[in-house]
Amino acid sequence: MDTTNTPIYATIDGNEACARVAYLLNEVCAIYPITPSSTMAELADQWAVEGKPNLWGEIPLVAEMQSEGGAAGAVHGALQGGALTTTFTASQGLMLMLPNMYKIAGELTPTVFHVAARSLAAQGLSIFGDHADVMAARTTGFGLLGATSVQEAQDLALIAQAATLEARLPFLHFFDGFRTSHEINKIQLIDDTVLRAMIDDDTVRAHRARALNPDHPFIRGTAQNPDVYFQARETVNPYYARTPEIVQQAMDRFAQLTGRHYRLFDYHGTPDAERVIIIMGSGAATVRQTVDYLNQQGEKLGVVTVHLYRPFAAERLLEALPETVRGIAVLDRCKEPGASGEPLYLDVGTAFLEGSNRNNLPTLVGGRYGLSSKEFTPAMVKAVFDNLNSERPRNHFTVGINDDVSQTSLVVDSSFDIEPSTVVRALFYGLGADGTVGANKNSIKIIGDDPAFHAQGYFVYDSKKSGSQTVSHLRFGPEPIDAPYLISSASFVGIHQFAFLKKTDLLAAAAPGATVLLNSPYPADQVWAKLPRPVQQTLIDKALQLHVINASRVARDVGLGQRTNTVLQTCFFALSGVMPRDKAIAHIKHAIEKSYARKGADVVAKNFRAVDQTLDNLSLVSIPASVTSDQERQPPVPASAPDFVRRVTAAMLAGRGDELPVSALPVDGSYPSGTTQYEKRDIAAFVPVWESGLCIQCGNCSFVCPHGVISAKFYDRQQLSQAPGGFPSAPLNARGFPDTRYTLQVSVPDCTGCGLCVEACPAVSPSRSGVKAINMTPREQIGHYANHHQQFFDQLPLNDRARVDFASVRGTQFLEPLFRYSGACAGCGETPYLKLLSQLFGDRMLVANATGCSSIYGGNLPTTPWGTNTEGRGPAWSNSLFEDNAEFGFGFRLSADQHLSLARRLLGELASEVGEELANSILNAPQSSETMIRSQREQVAALKVKLLALDTPMAQDLLSVVDHLIRRSVWIVGGDGWAYDIGYAGLDHVLASGRDVNILVMDTEVYSNTGGQMSKSTPLGAVAKFAAGGKSIAKKDLALQAIAYGNVYVARIAMGANPQQTLLAFREAEAYTGPSLILAYSHCIAHGINMQQGLKQQDLAVGSGHWPLLRYNPVLRQAGDNPFKLDSLRPRMPLRDYTHGELRYRMLERTNPDVAQTLGRLAQESVDLKWSVYEEMATRDGSAFQPATRTDNH
Amino acid sequence: MTMDLSTRYLGLDLAHPVVASASPLSRSLDGMKQLEDGGVSAIVMYSLFEEHIRHDNALFDHFLSQGANSFPEALDYFPTPEGSTEVGPDLYLDQVRLASQALDIPVIASLNGISDHGWIDYARLLEQAGAAGLELNIYYIPADLSLGGREVEERYLSIAALVKEAVTIPVAMKLNPYFSAPGDIAQRLDTIGIDGLVLFNRFYQPDLDIDRLKVAPTLNLSSPLEIRLPLRWLAILHKRINASLAASTGVESADEVVKYLLAGADAVMTTSALLRHGPSHAHALVGGLVEWLDEHGFEGVNQARGTLSQQAVSDPDAFERANYLQVLESYRYP
């Protein structure tokens, strides 16, 4: 019986659906951001800031901790204090919570952890969804309750909370990361009356009564001995035994209140099913629909959706299965290598072994599917059922991949499609920056708000932070939509970027006769001739209806500038048939009024005009009977690329990574370096062009280029005799080189068009206003000559590193970058530092990279910007975790030191055989300059020749470690989230180790990669997620903390303020044989700035005293000098002159001007105080600092 | 005998004619209090620019959504602001409201709109906030070469009509001096019912940086030499139109106040001198005016006003012809 009032619907994603309930039913949330669960925590924080009360009228306390380990500790503590407490997490975050989860469960403490289930990092990290994390937590003693949809993510959040309070078992409520957490769907909201009815306040009071309380004290958390630990562990059995019944009762109560009935094991299908799939998570919905479809065709199939996985109620499972079942496939969304099967499969098997009294046990097989959000489609479900039908069903199979190594995979008929024709299925291809996703989210809301419609949206993004491609999958229809898989047969395809057609097959998923909308610069009567051959062919073969509009022109004409979203959204409504055109247009206009009313009547009017003019400018293209184009799609990589890149990387780049067989992939997660060079993404609308006559060859542009696209070479004039026409060149600006020429080359297809180079250029034309030595020019004005110039430049010899002045910014432009063409944001403030590192030390460098932005643009497949030089040497890069990066890099050092020691000993022992002179020369070689390093390389090369000739075990041993005789440069890099928060303890320990490691913190003062959450580096007064009211605590001064050790080299740098100091600090840090810490100001998109002004903001940060430049060199202390050097001048402007240019500060001025004023004043006081401390330190005698304990330099 | 310094501008009774014109000094309530303490008889607040508000909001929106919906781990970069972050004229309105309550002298708001809606809506809000009057600051450079003079004039007239229709508080128009026939536009505005004219708007004029080959925005404070242009037109318009007249530009000492008064100004506005010497310079200006009136036997401001207006002087042509021959002849080369 449904006792609720009129149902309230909302179109929201799974994270919001779950968080809403969790927030209302808790008093404390202790969290730490991690994809894909971050949104839940952010929403909780936002609601708390807005003063939204929970069910009992209190505003929950939301605390962001320094790690998930910290969050779990705080949750444990809050629970012991008696508060209803929750947290939200995923993946590695859940791993960090495991120790506390055992404690919480062991103490029978009610709580619900809400998890957006995600893969665990193994051979590679993945942010996407599977059950690896949840399954790793199944031994903690938590109850595990799994939701399959956005609706269930809400409903089971409540059922879990009700059950935990009654059962006293803590619960882990989970749903599939991204597929459910990020899917937008129309759901029926639970109202407060249902919440009240579900939660028994007596259980809440009982929870409080069990809390630690000095008024009636006891101790909990004892250390136990062999005499009682075992028995005490068994005390909880009755609680686990009764929990399934408690959960089912909660589900039954919920059904009475809402009409939505869940069971521990939900059976769906024909009562006389012969074949059944048992599954958890969103895949269950796919199976359910496929079962319905196939049963209508006469099959006898069923599916069991596992909701309660722990405690595992085996009897209930067996009861749920029809007696007629003769074949069962258990699907696990995880992999347990080396096990006799995945967890759910083993549990089901045990259930049959222990509990079934059937005479003929059904065939039982297990399989893996959907790891890391791998698609799980009806076609795959059918393949699983087909497997059960075979004479000898394959066990331990995989479905959804081609496993040509272990032959585990089932064959899938990808043409199998079950989607009903009543559902409008729309695909949209856009750029991250073009508003496509935002407009589609808006469309979903518009349609979802209409009582006659249901709507679903899911969005796929690529792994680049600049020029990223987005694909929106939208479904609309009269019935609820529970289709947790991508659209493969679209009735509408919107192509919002014409250029995509040249690279990717965007019509592959178009259903025959589908409507295609193309945003085209060419009108309907000209566009056909501009389409590549395969596109023309598909349009004809599938009889597609092609409509074009020049959305950019319409938007421009009505005064909307480059904002095409209203235009393209109108096209969709007009063409898709989701609702009558007039009604659709009325809906759009209503939405426009709602969105833009506060921006002024004329903004509304402009958007209305855009809607009206869209309809006038939308044209149907007449499709000829035959193909006329001979233009093929551009290959994703050039034919000259290495084999692996052509076979594997290219497939990923072309969006065909799903087709790669297991055999194509490395077994241990090792991938080739330097692969971004083959992408040639060509994403910039404007690119820099060099003015050779104006250039003073200072190297600033090359120095600051975040994507490493600007290179310089000097070369003999005679080389120009082979140069292509117009190849720009200038005399080298240096005395004594009359026959030497200089060229600055811009790799146009790799440029993101950020314009930092132009901002950094100091050379201004004396006769042409606004013209510098490097200027942004429209991409389309760059002719094909650019390719020829690039090719000629590439074949010019690299400059001899021994002839380059490493000590000057000017000199660095001649050093080959071994980090370039990354997918970082256009104008990124971090990457110039990494590029510089790679130029200076790249050929002998080990990089330990903390998880975060830098590990994503550095190591997210398909490609990596970390490259090699012509000798094949380059940075050796790896990412371990987020929290352990300092320790990880420290391990590099330990290994290098140990193997250096081994190599030196072996060389000493082999000296007589390889030659005493060579051995001694190698053992005693100084390696403090590039020339010395080159010399040592030559000696080691000679040694290798001799060792190979010796061919003795000892010689082979030495050969295995001989490369260590070249001094290795260990760099530990990451962002402030790692260094200030989650990895701080490790960083501190490594700093205190005295070992020769170099730590580079690219400080954006916020968690950038996960979307702008506050870190302890976030400045006072800045707004960030979890500091929506402005951060009220000053930024941690990591420099002073490190200086306190005395033997740590410390520098605070800002490339935009003083590039020379940056260079100096890098070189000093690397030369110092102890630990070094460099804090590098990194402007960031999360600051809310014009990224082209990033360098200027850096300069203002320094000029205002927010970011004083400094170096602390223990070597100076050892020499009796003051080791503390203040490299920037006394603040020359108030802090506000810097902060006013950044949204992160200005936001508070708008949301809470009084607080903004107060915090602004405190921030200024803080800056003044900091400066006075530094100034005093800069004038101290050296003896006033801790003595330095290391003196040996290279 | 007590000198009667009182005057009437925009229908407002002022203690004396020295008024603070729109400037950074009125950007805060404290600044306005200092101006009052310094001795001005009314304050025209700094201008509320509709375009600035819109641009700022657009920029704010842009940065708030920059990078959004592009990358799966970061679908946005800022917390969702509580309520709207649109900045309307609220801060300005608050200041009008507070200043009107806190000060004893009239507070005249200054408005620069870019759309009809902007002019009308903001004017109404300013009236509701308690502004004693409204000054329309049409800061408009007709850089479009296809735009005729008549069209520009029509724009001024249309704005004046819109705002007059929208509010009941007195409305002044700050004119620019570049009309072909300033007298004609003044008269047509007068016909619409404008309550006052301010002569003249002194547009910022960019300079050129000849070293960096760039246009260099500059702000030079006005000097007494610049009073001649408004002086002439005040003298011409005095008693020829109903609207009250305010002089603006070039007031450094009491001499300029006196000159404007003699030409026919109902109020004399100053910014540069107050910025140069501080708000209390208003006391000096008023003191100098009193001294001059006293020395020259005038009983008050009203008696002196317009004494040297075109209608009052013996040689009215002096304001019409440039008398350039006479001027040229009087010039002596160094």
Least confident of A10-14, A493-497, A792-796, B55-59: B55-59
Q: What average pLDDT score do residues A928-939 get?
A: 93
Q: Does B30 touch chain A (CB under 8 A)?
A: no
Q: What average pLDDT score do residues A993-1006 get?
A: 97
Contact across the interface for B79 and A49, Cβ inside 8 Å: yes
- Give how far Cα A625 sits from Cα of A523, A527, A632, Å: 19, 15, 19
Q: Are A199 and A164 in contact (CB under 8 A)?
A: no
Q: Are A66 and A984 in contact (CB under 8 A)?
A: yes
Query: Taking 90 as the threshold, does the pLDDT of residue A730 lie above it?
Result: yes
Query: Taking 70 as the threshold, does the pLDDT of residue B325 lie above it?
Result: no
- Determine the residue of chain B that is closest to A596 in CA distance: B86
Q: Does B334 touch chain A (CB under 8 A)?
A: no
Q: For residue A394, report the phi and psi dihedrals to the nearest 5 degrees.
A: -70, 135
Q: Does B98 touch chain A (CB under 8 A)?
A: no
pLDDT in tens, A454-499: 999 999 998 899 989 999 999 999 999 999 999 999 999 999 999 9
pLDDT band per the 50, 70, 90 thresholds, residue A135? very high
Cis preceding linkage at A608, omega within 30: no
Which of the following is catalytic: A35, A87, A100, A570? A35
Return the pLDDT at B332: 54
The angle formed by the CA atoms of residues A885, A888 and A894, to the nearest 5 degrees, is: 145
Query: How far apart (Å, rounded) are the C-alpha atoms in residues A926 and A922?
Result: 9
Query: How far apart (Å, rounded) are the C-alpha atoms in residues A506 and A523?
Result: 20
User: What's the number of CA atoms in the CB half-sphere (13 Å) around residue A732?
Assistant: 19
Nearest to A15 by CA among A84, A89, A71: A89
Which of the following is catalytic: A20, A54, A85, A118? A118
Report chain B's mean pLDDT, rounded to a whole number: 89
The angle formed by the CA atoms of residues A1054, A1055 and A1059, to the nearest 5 degrees, is: 120
Q: Does B214 touch chain A (CB under 8 A)?
A: yes
Query: How far apart (Å, rounded) are the C-alpha atoms in residues A824 and A755?
Result: 14
Return the pLDDT at B322: 52
Least confident of A1074-1088, A1113-1127, B314-328: B314-328
Task: Tell me whether residue A118 is one of the annotated catalytic residues.
Answer: yes
Contact across the interface for B79 and A468, Cβ inside 8 Å: no
Q: Give chain A positions within 8 Å (CB) of B56.
A: none
Q: Does B115 touch chain A (CB under 8 A)?
A: yes
Return the pLDDT at A2: 45
pLDDT band per the 50, 70, 90 thresholds, residue A606? confident
- Give how far Cα B318 sits from Cα of A915, B227, B311, B327, B328, Å: 109, 16, 11, 11, 15
In one-letter notation, the amino acid at residue B288 is G
Distance from CA of A598 to the nearest CA of B (A): 7
In one-letter notation, the amino acid at residue B104 is D
Q: Give chain A positions within 8 Å (CB) of B70.
A: 431-433, 437, 461, 465, 468, 470
Query: How far apart (Å, rounded) are the C-alpha atoms in residues B137 and B196?
Result: 12
**What does DSSP say about strands A308-310 and A143-146: parallel, antiparallel, or unpaired?**
antiparallel
Query: Taking 60 as the threshold, does the pLDDT of residue A3 lie above it?
Result: no
pLDDT band per the 50, 70, 90 thresholds, residue B326? low
Q: Give the position of tokens 């959004």.
A: B68
Q: What are the tokens at A88?
A: 């939200």
Q: How many CB pairs under 8 A join A and B?
A: 131
DSSP A1007: B
Highest mean pLDDT, choosing among A13-22, A426-435, A594-603, B59-68: A13-22
- Determine the residue of chain A that is closest to B82 in CA distance: A50
**Is the complex ipTM higher than 0.90?**
yes
Query: Taking 70 as the threshold, does the pLDDT of residue A330 lie above it?
Result: yes
Contact across the interface for A769 and B80, Cβ inside 8 Å: no
Query: Taking 90 as the threshold, does the pLDDT of residue A1158 lie above it?
Result: yes
Return the pLDDT at A436: 94
Distance from CA of B79 to the nearest CA of A (A): 5
In one-letter notation, the amino acid at residue A886 is A
List residues bridging with A690 in a β-sheet: A774
pLDDT in tens, A71-130: 999 999 999 999 999 999 999 999 999 999 999 999 999 999 999 999 999 999 999 999
Least confident of A169-183, A511-525, A571-585: A571-585
- Nearest beta carbon to residue A470 from set B57, B69, B80: B69
Distance from CA of B43 to the nearest CA of A (A): 25
Which of the following is catalytic: A148, A377, A775, A1009? A1009
Q: Are A1163 and A1032 in contact (CB under 8 A)?
A: no
DSSP codes joined into one string, B19-72: EEPSSGGGSSHHHHHHHHHHT-S-EEEEEEEHHHHHHHHHHHHHHHHTTTTSBT
Contact across the interface for A433 and B71, Cβ inside 8 Å: no
Contact across the interface for B85 and A1088, Cβ inside 8 Å: no
Report chain A's mean pLDDT, rounded to a whole number: 95
Cis preceding linkage at A862, omega within 30: yes
Query: Taking 90 as the threshold, does the pLDDT of residue B211 lie above it?
Result: no
Contact across the interface for A468 and B91, Cβ inside 8 Å: no
Return the pLDDT at B262: 95
Query: How far apart (Å, rounded) are the C-alpha atoms in residues A831 and A822?
Result: 8
In one-letter notation, the amino acid at residue B160 is A
- Nearest beta carbon to residue A1009 from set B73, B88, B214: B73
Q: Give chain B positions within 8 Å (CB) of A770.
A: 213-214
Contact across the interface for B67 and A465, Cβ inside 8 Å: yes
Return the pLDDT at B334: 44
Among left, alpha and beta (phi > 0; psi -120 to 50; other), residue A600 is left
Return the pLDDT at A312: 98
Query: How far apart (Å, rounded) are the C-alpha atoms in residues A170 and A163?
Result: 9
pLDDT in tens, B128-161: 999 999 999 987 778 889 888 899 899 999 999 9
pLDDT in tens, A239-286: 999 999 999 999 999 999 999 999 999 999 999 999 999 999 999 999
Contact across the interface for B73 and A600, Cβ inside 8 Å: no
Query: How far apart (Å, rounded) are the C-alpha atoms in residues A939 and A621?
Result: 70
Which value, in Å, is the radius of gyration of the alpha carbons in chain B?
A: 22
pLDDT in tens, A682-696: 999 999 999 999 999
Q: Does B242 touch chain A (CB under 8 A)?
A: no
Contact across the interface for B60 and A856, Cβ inside 8 Å: no
Q: Are A882 and A978 in contact (CB under 8 A)?
A: yes
Nearest to A327 by CA among A298, A348, A296, A357: A348
Return the pLDDT at B320: 66
**In chain A, % of residues over pLDDT 70:** 99
Q: Give chain B positions within 8 Å (CB) of A50.
A: 82
Query: How far apart (Å, rounded) are the C-alpha atoms in residues A968 and A895?
Result: 11
Return the pLDDT at B33: 96
Q: Are A552 and A562 in contact (CB under 8 A)?
A: yes
- Nearest beta carbon to residue B64 from set A182, A1090, A1143: A1143
pLDDT in tens, A828-879: 999 999 999 999 999 999 999 999 999 999 999 999 999 999 999 999 999 9
Query: How far apart (Å, rounded) are the C-alpha atoms in residues A764 and A758?
Result: 10
Query: How far apart (Å, rounded) are the C-alpha atoms in residues A179 and A152?
Result: 13
In the β-sheet with A28-31, what is the strand arrangement from edge to edge? A61-64, A28-31, A85-89, A112-117, A171-176, A143-146, A308-310
Q: Give the position of tokens 């850096």.
A: A1098
Query: How far apart (Å, rounded) are the C-alpha atoms in residues B196 and B206?
Result: 29
**Which residues make Cβ contacts (< 8 Å) with residue A589, sequence separation at least 6?**
A608, A611
Return the pLDDT at A609: 92
pLDDT in tens, A206-248: 999 999 999 999 999 999 999 999 999 999 999 999 999 999 9
Contact across the interface for A1010 and B73, Cβ inside 8 Å: yes
Distance from CA of A1097 to the nearest CA of B (A): 15
Cis preceding linkage at A453, omega within 30: no
pLDDT band per the 50, 70, 90 thresholds, residue A30? very high
Query: Taking 60 as the threshold, does the pLDDT of residue B319 lie above it?
Result: yes
Q: What are the tokens at A713?
A: 């070479």
Q: Does B210 touch chain A (CB under 8 A)?
A: no
**What does DSSP say about strands A730-731 and A740-746: parallel, antiparallel, or unpaired?**
antiparallel
Q: Are A128 and A463 in contact (CB under 8 A)?
A: no
Query: Taking 80 as the threshold, does the pLDDT of residue A551 lie above it?
Result: yes
Contact across the interface for A465 and B115, Cβ inside 8 Å: no
pTM to 2 decimals?
Answer: 0.92
Q: Are A1069 and A1049 in contact (CB under 8 A)?
A: yes
Contact across the interface for A600 and B115, Cβ inside 8 Å: yes
Q: For residue A30, report the phi and psi dihedrals to the nearest 5 degrees.
A: -115, 125
In the β-sheet with A275-279, what is the strand arrangement from edge to edge? A265-269, A301-306, A275-279, A327-332, A363-369, A397-399
Q: Give chain B positions within 8 Å (CB) of A431.
A: 70
Q: Give the position of tokens 């920059």.
A: B66
Q: What are the tokens at A1080?
A: 């590098």
Q: What average pLDDT score do residues A409-421 get?
A: 93
Task: Tell me whether residue A849 is one of the annotated catalytic residues.
Answer: no
Q: Does B321 touch chain A (CB under 8 A)?
A: no
pLDDT in tens, B170-209: 999 999 888 899 999 999 999 999 999 999 987 777 888 8
